[in-house]
């Protein structure tokens, strides 16, 4: 059985208190690894090693050398792509095709931000002075210091490197706290960092849980200068409170209850294909996924019937098996949550178009965290499954009659992460996209990402923006230098 350790100051180690916890397979619920739990002393050691690296080789390294190292990290990740993919699949149960894409994006994040940091501009202003000689003001970027990186379990490598990549590119050091559900790829990245010569203390990994454990130790540590988090909204709020002590900056990408809006003039086949992906990709465990679908009334019955057919054609099973399009949920605990919403939908009067329960899996997988892809209709917008984030492979489909109506209904939740709009009317697309309260709006597509663009949420879906130069605003501090001439 695999034993996964913390990675502190360039070395793998167990926790100072000798504690460990089990990691179970989402596919079968069998124990596949033990994980060393970091104690408070381990978090302190990781932060201390990071501060030492800031003052030493990493902090004094020229930009060109730092960028070259990050490209070596990406190259080594590509060389070991099959190992990363196997680790990601073991932790999450996602189909191999999904895992391959996620892992490739993980390596790409280092290359993208290595390029961005080389080319980011600052500013310079000339000003007059009373003596007529003038002055120059120019800005320079400096790293914020030790960054605490608190990661989710749904796309572990991709979302972790989405933060680690720009943090390191800007000259910071990181202490990464992966989800207890998905510890393996963060640890494997430690091997890569060591292999390519990233200085000790620059990249640290501490495993454990949230309150009263590693997550709390990290987010309350006075030596952590900034905290970046992706995950559930209540956890993000707790991190924000912890960060208030010391007035430390936070970047929070949190929950969503994202709408998909399909107008009657939409390309039906494209809208079905896009909505199917946005509802069920990665078993619905995608922060940008669609759980509320609004369809203009003339197309409603046709759309629901087509989505039902497409959902029922999805194949659940072993990640490497040909044609498998959906895996299990991350854990038994999360399955209990999702199934509770499946039951609640029926209690509230939903029509179950398809799914709504547990699939009949082969004997080897009966213990896994499997649920059926599920589509409902018939509920009011006030129903729990139409307002609360479920984070499972499910959606509710409602008809609408006007543009103004659907905009109001789409915005009538506490979240504002993303939306997808399907229409052939270009003017309408621009109008609706501008009115939707969300950080990302797709038109006639979903999950189409240029990594240079700003990414983040509105309302209770987050604070701050990531991507391209927007990430650098969080991972650097701007210093103005005024030179009297």
Work out the angle at residue 306's Cα, subtended by the Cα atoms of residues 302 and 307, and round it to the nearest 5 degrees: 115
Does 253 qualify as catalytic in the annotation?
Answer: yes
Q: Tell me, what DSSP letter sits at residue 424?
A: S
Q: Could you tell me if 34 and 18 are in contact, meaning their C-beta atoms sit under 8 angstroms apart?
A: no
Catalytic residue among 76, 216, 253, 466: 253
User: Could you write out the DSSP letters of every residue in 80-91?
Assistant: THHHHHHHHHHH
Burial of 247 (0-12, 13-18, 19+ CB in 10 A): exposed
User: Could you write out the DSSP letters of every residue in 251-283?
Assistant: EEE----EEEEE-TTS-HHHHHHHHHHHHHGGG
Q: List, in sequence order, every residue forming a beta bridge with 351; answer none if it has no partner.
A: 377
Burial of 56 (0-12, 13-18, 19+ CB in 10 A): middle
Question: In 3-state terms, what secondary structure has residue 293?
Answer: strand
User: Could you write out the DSSP letters of every residue in 316-347?
Assistant: BS-TTSTT--B---S-HHHHHHHHHHHHHHHH
Catalytic residue among 103, 151, 170, 287: 287
Question: In 3-state terms, what secondary structure has residue 467?
Answer: coil
Strands (E), 106-182: 124-127, 135-143, 146-150, 173-177
Q: Could you tell me if 146 and 172 are in contact, meaning their C-beta atoms sit under 8 angstroms apart?
A: yes
Q: Could you tell me if 450 and 117 are in contact, meaning their C-beta atoms sit under 8 angstroms apart?
A: no
Does 408 qualify as catalytic in the annotation?
Answer: no
Residue 338's nearest CA partner among 373, 287, 378 is 373
Sequence-distant (≥ 6) Cβ neighbours of residue 290 within 8 angstroms: 258, 259, 260, 275, 278, 279, 395, 420, 446
Handedness of CA 366, 306, 419, 399 (dihedral sign): negative
Task: In whole angstroms, give the CA distance from residue 317 to residue 315.
Answer: 7
* Residues recognised as catalytic: 253, 287
């Amino acid at each position: 059985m695999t034993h996964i350790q913390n990675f502190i100051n360039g070395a793998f180690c167990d926790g100072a208190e000798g504690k460990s916890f089990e990691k179970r397979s989402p596919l079968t619920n069998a124990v596949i690894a033990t994980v060393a739990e970091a104690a408070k002393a381990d978090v302190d050691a990781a932060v201390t090693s990071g501060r030492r690296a800031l003052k030493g080789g990493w902090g004094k390294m020229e930009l060109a050398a730092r960028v070259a190292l990050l490209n070596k990290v990406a190259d080594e990740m590509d060389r070991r792509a099959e190992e990363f993919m196997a680790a990601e699949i073991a932790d999450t149960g996602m189909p191999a095709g999904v895992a391959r894409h996620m892992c490739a994006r993980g390596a790409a994040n280092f290359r993208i931000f290595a390029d961005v940091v080389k080319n980011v501009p600052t500013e310079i202003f000339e000003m007059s002075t009373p003596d007529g000689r003038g002055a120059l003001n120019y800005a320079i970027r400096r790293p914020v210091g030790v960054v605490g990186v608190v990661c989710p379990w749904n796309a572990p490598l991709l979302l972790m490197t989405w933060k680690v990549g720009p943090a390191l590119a800007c000259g910071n050091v990181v202490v990464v706290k992966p989800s207890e559900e998905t510890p393996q790829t963060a640890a494997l990245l430690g091997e890569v960092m060591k292999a390519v010569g990233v200085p000790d203390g620059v990249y640290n990994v501490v495993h454990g849980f949230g309150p009263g454990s590693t997550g709390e130790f990290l987010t309350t540590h006075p030596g952590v200068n900034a905290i970046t988090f992706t995950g559930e909204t209540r956890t993000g709020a707790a991190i924000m409170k912890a960060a208030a002590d010391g007035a430390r900056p936070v970047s929070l990408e949190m929950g969503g209850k994202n709408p998909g809006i399909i107008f009657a003039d939409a390309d039906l086949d494209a809208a079905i294909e896009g909505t199917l992906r946005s509802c069920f990709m990665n078993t619905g465990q995608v922060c940008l996924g669609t759980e509320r679908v609004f369809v203009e009334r003339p197309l409603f019955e046709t759309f629901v019937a087509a989505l039902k057919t497409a959902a029922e054609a999805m194949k659940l099973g072993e990640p490497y098996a040909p044609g498998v399009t959906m895996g299990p949920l991350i854990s038994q605990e999360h399955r209990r949550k999702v199934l509770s919403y499946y039951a609640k939908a029926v209690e509230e009067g939903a029509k179950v178009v398809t799914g709504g329960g547990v699939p009949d899996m082969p004997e080897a997988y009966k213990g896994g965290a499997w649920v059926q892809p599920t589509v409902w209709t018939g509920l009011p917008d006030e129903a729990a499954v139409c307002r609360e984030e479920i984070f499972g492979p499910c959606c509710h489909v409602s008809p609408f009659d006007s543009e103004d109506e659907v905009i109001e209904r789409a915005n009538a939740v506490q979240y504002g992460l993303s939306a997808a709009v399907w229409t052939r009317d270009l003017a309408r697309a621009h109008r609706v996209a501008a009115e939707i309260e969300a950080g990302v709006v797709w038109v006639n597509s979903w999950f189409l990402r240029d990594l240079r663009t700003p990414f983040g949420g509105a309302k209770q879906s987050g604070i701050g923006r990531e991507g391209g130069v927007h990430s650098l605003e969080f991972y650097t501090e701007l210093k103005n230098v005024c030179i009297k001439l």
